[in-house]
Amino acid sequence: MNAYAENVFGEYDTRVRGIMISASELDVRHGPILYLEDVSVSFDGFKALNDLSLYIDAGELRCLIGPNGAGKTTLMDVITGKTRPDTGSVFFGQTIDLLKMDEPSIAQAGICRKFQKPSVFDALTVFENLELALKTDRRTWSTLFHRLNGEQRDRIEQIIETIGLGTCHQLRAGALSHGQKQWLEIGMLLMQEPKVMLVDEPIAGMTHQEIERTAELLLSLQGHHSIVVVEHDMEFVRSIASKVTVLHEGSVLTEGTMDEVQNDPRVIQVYLGG
């Protein structure tokens, strides 16, 4: 059975074991767009996640920090369907059970992930990379004969301006700087019209100017998207996050503002090295 099915409006809904899931069914009336409750994941006896509970609000920009092995990557793997938890529940809004969905279905429903290393097509231009990422019918026949309409072109141009690559739209991605490639990949996620963006260490290898621009970009996206950023650079986290979650040994150690978590004796002991 195909993962997606066309509805009467020409849009694509996600199938979950034969049940249609429409983006219009996403219920965030109570605030959170992501619910993880009592989630545990074990690998060969090691508990990567240990009864973890986490709630991300619609439109929120949240930063996750913690020492290596704290469970940050496993947490993102669970949200995107790459890893199935041993116990617990994971919901997208109030009603969509992510544990009943596979990775492509979760992505199609509106949860997208950016890894630390940018994955762009070096031989294609900035515009072509974004065109390739356009959220549209991906069946073979439609892909072969697809032509951009005016609205789609406007969408791509809008994203190019948002990510700060307006002077580079016909430049091949391979000629971009490291930071520009990171922004292009964020733009490719935006082309998918995500409701939740999971962003892993976005500023690794960037210059100071690129870091500042990345902070501006992520801040401009909050409110329109829910963004979860995993990052080790505390100065960068302070510049973008109103709320920080600290993970330790697979659980939430504490949450709060950057000042609150930096002054928490438990955080100082296990992570900040005070």
Lowest mean pLDDT among 23-32, 52-61, 101-110: 23-32
Quote the domain boundaries for residue 201: 4-272
260, two tokens: 């609150």
Residue 114 has a pLDDT of: 93
* CATH code, 101: 3.40.50.300
Lowest mean pLDDT among 128-142, 227-241, 247-261: 128-142
Whether 138 shows a pLDDT value over 70: the answer reads no
Specify the number of domains making up the chain: 1
Mean pLDDT value of segment 159-164: 97
Burial of residue 74 (number of CB atoms within 10 Å: 0-12, 13-18, 19+): buried
- Residue 17: pLDDT band (50, 70, 90) is very low
Question: Which neighbouring-strand residues pair with 122?
Answer: none
Residue 115 has a pLDDT of: 86
Which amino acid, 207? Answer: T
Residue 21 has a pLDDT of: 47
Task: Please give, one letter per residue, the 3-state secondary structure of 229-250.
Answer: EECCCHHHHHHHCCEEEEEECC
Q: What is the mean pLDDT of the chain?
A: 87
Residue 30 has a pLDDT of: 72
Mean pLDDT value of segment 8-13: 36
What is d(CA 86, CA 156) in angstroms, rounded to the nearest whole number? 41
Task: Please give, one letter per residue, the 3-state secondary structure of 144-173.
Answer: HCCCCCHHHHHHHHHHHHHCCCCCCCCCEH
- Residue 15: pLDDT band (50, 70, 90) is very low
Whether 12 shows a pLDDT value over 50: the answer reads no
pLDDT single digits (tens) 62-77:
999 999 899 999 999 9
Residue 117 has a pLDDT of: 79
Per mean pLDDT, which of 47-56, 111-120, 148-157, 265-274 is the most reliable?
Answer: 47-56
